[in-house]
Structure 1
């Protein structure tokens, strides 16, 4: 890696962005799949349901061949291999797609860090061509975020007119027949959540302020539906009403079951994160294997060897593992000279200290259990980690 003198601040190009939306990142794939599969599409859909599943779960390494008559004037390649973007059961993705095809609400639930938001973004991008119609649920989210607001300058000048109405993402999706995403719906107050009940059942929105005008009743165009997400850890924050639950099909997104699959995902996403920072990813695969093993043991409460592990209160998610792996990669790139393995205990401590002060003791207990046993079995990697126990204090 060549080191050059840095003079003054670096200004990023105007077109640069830290993160692109799914429809921007995968625009070529979406265009290819739209031409490749010309089967029946539900009203308002950009792709067929089969193509949506292929977009999310990939083509299993197969190069899809595009007939010549569909490439004319489109600038599309003759073939394309679609990589998997969501690591999870294909059947889960298929159930999600069928739910949306039936214009029913879809609720993705699961532990934090299981890629619920990513799945909802991919689904919205493939079905509607955009994932931008999104409401972020918080305790401060108001009913206006799910219904509508007003341009108060026009409201004062003209009174309540259709021109003064400011559409929410939900209302925009209703007008255009698209998918709207509601992230962390259980973070919203119950009275805010319940604004979705009539929207999902009646598929229309009344604007009483416009009574007697053309815009007082807005009906959902074909293709409109809602994808919501909720963390199982937040179930007691603002419990959904029974009426709202009945409007959704619930799908649980589980943590990645296979250790190698999770390690591959962590490596891939950490590599991408470090490359975005302008560096090469050089962390040894053995270090990543050990890192993912620790996360999986602490997450499940049981080691791969069958030893009991006291689970921390914080969520040891795959997303957190990616962040730690990326930090190791950035340290190796920008602060060279040390061993990435030596940094693992400190980063793990930063993860487990987030929620419960007793999690520090649980991490030490893990070191005194599985880490020590693996070191005694002769593993040089785990012996080094055992020697680093004092750095956890």
Structure 2
């Protein structure tokens, strides 16, 4: 197989005016960018009417402030230095500009993840559902590459073309396998552009599809035998994958593929205060993005949700005196965020504007009872043995009993 310069369609380079661009990269003629990724000339603001901005759009001001004062060495292809990336993720202040924390937890975890990506090793973020794996991978890609949109979403139906490349079948039938008939995958685009690509839920992909990454990670090349060529990765390319270590319907990674990743395990928050901070911060951000009416902080109810989830998750009450059964649900911070956000919407539109126990009772009951038989028993026992005995939780107990029946 010869080593040739990657074809335009494979590399994602701009087409000539008026030529279709199968990769979706920005076209120099000024035509719209269907991916919504940032224009190379600069990061755009949040487009009007967009429900959720990409990280590089939402935090463009913070990224610009950090970049302006980042005089530390940057690995090839990186927009920021490793120190600046860690500052962006963990928060702080840069020349008077506050940098909001994107990941609340052990700083060393972030440092190890960033250091891994500065080498030729791919990064695997591993943890139970709801431990901010996707959130962290998006912000790593935004800070390092300036683009978090190169994404492969793993499912049971993911095929090998999502990792390698596909074909425009209309062109393939009329022209045969040519440069213009090839449709680059996000992985191929990341290789040719020297960017990070995110592979979400890697273990949900079939094992043979997962193993399509082996050559990419070990040789940093992607053969295209139909064209007698190959794509070689540019400096700055790397892979961030996420996977659940406790979930149904997953396919274990082969030992050959696992060896090509540095694995960073993301734990659940170490303390209740840390988890309350995470939930409160994300609920506030989501409320603004969804344009929910602003309510008082409701920290008491947030702490109540976090306490219930932690006790059921750990199988013991916060004072260590009472053992409780754990339901089948993960009860992660992500689920707590969902419960509180739904409660705020209820309080704003159907309540008195203050987050109360009745507003979170339905959400928390639904989050706990995933199995209508076994989980319902666990929840009822917890309500009677723990919640009922807490004097200042009387309103919450009544609200949950009304919902549970």
Range into which the TM-score falls when normalised by the shorter chain: 0.7 to 0.9
1:288 aligns with 2:288: no
User: Post-superposition shift, 1:14?
Assistant: 6.7
Instruction: Structure 1: state its 5+ residue gaps.
Output: 1-12, 66-78
Paired position in structure 2 for 1:298: 312
Residue 45 (structure 1) aligns with: 78
Q: Specify which structure has the higher proportion of helix.
A: 1
Whole-angstrom CA distance in 1 between matches of 2:127 and 2:313: 13
Shift of 1:389: 5.2
1:46 touches 1:128 (CA, 8 Å); kept in 2? yes
Matched, 1:132 2:127: no
Q: Specify the SS of the correspondent of 2:309.
A: helix
Residue number in structure 2 paired with 1:261: 274
Which stretches of structure 1, 4 residues or more, deviate above 6 A after TM superposition?
A: none
Cα distance 1:355–1:150, how it changes in 2: closer, same or farther (>3 A)?
farther
2:401 alignment partner in structure 1: 390
Structure 1 residues 114 and 339: CA distance shift in structure 2, 3 A: closer
> CA offsets per residue over residues 180-225 of structure 1, 9 Å max, x none?
00000000000000000111001001011002xxxx1111111111
Tell me the equivalent position of 2:356: 340
TM-score using structure 1 length: 0.87
Tell me the residue number matched to 1:372: 388
Residue 232 in structure 1 maps to residue 232 in structure 2: no
Contact 1:282 1:329 in 2 (8 A): no
Q: What's the TM-score, normalizing by structure 2?
A: 0.84
Supply the distance in 1 between the matched residues of 2:75 and 2:258 (Cα, whole angstroms). 24
Q: What stretches of structure 2 of length at least 5 have no aligned partner?
A: 1-45
User: Paired residue for 1:54, among 81, 87, 90?
Assistant: 87
Structure 2 counterpart of 1:17: 50
CA distance in 1, matches of 2:212, 2:331: 34
Q: Which moved more, 1:356-365 or 1:244-253?
A: 356-365
The answer to whether the 8 A contact 1:186-1:234 is kept is no
Q: How far apart in 2 are the matches of 1:284 and 1:29?
A: 28
Conserved in 2, the CA contact under 8 Å of 1:205 and 1:219? yes
Q: Is the 8 A contact 1:197 1:247 kept in 2?
A: yes
Selected match of 1:188 from 205, 208, 216: 205
Alignment partners' CA distance in 2, 1:369 and 1:260 = 24
Deviation at 1:251, TM superposition (A): 0.6
1:192 partner SS: helix
2:97 is equivalent to residue 64 of structure 1: no
Q: 2:110 and 2:358 mapped to 1: Cα distance? A: 39
Q: For structure 1, which segment, 235-244 or 25-34, has the greater mean C-alpha deviation from structure 2 after superposition?
A: 235-244
Equivalent-residue separation in structure 1 for 2:165 and 2:146 (angstroms): 23
Native 8 Å contact 2:344 2:359 kept in 1: no
Structure-2 residue corresponding to 1:28: 61
Length, aligned pairs only: 356
Q: Deviations over 1:78-107 (max 9, x none)?
A: x31212111121100000011000021100
1:294-322 Cα shifts (integer Å, max 9, x gaps): 11111111111102121111110111111
The 5 Å alignment of 1:147-296 reads 147-211=164-228, 216-234=229-247, 237-275=250-288, 276-282=290-296, 284-296=298-310
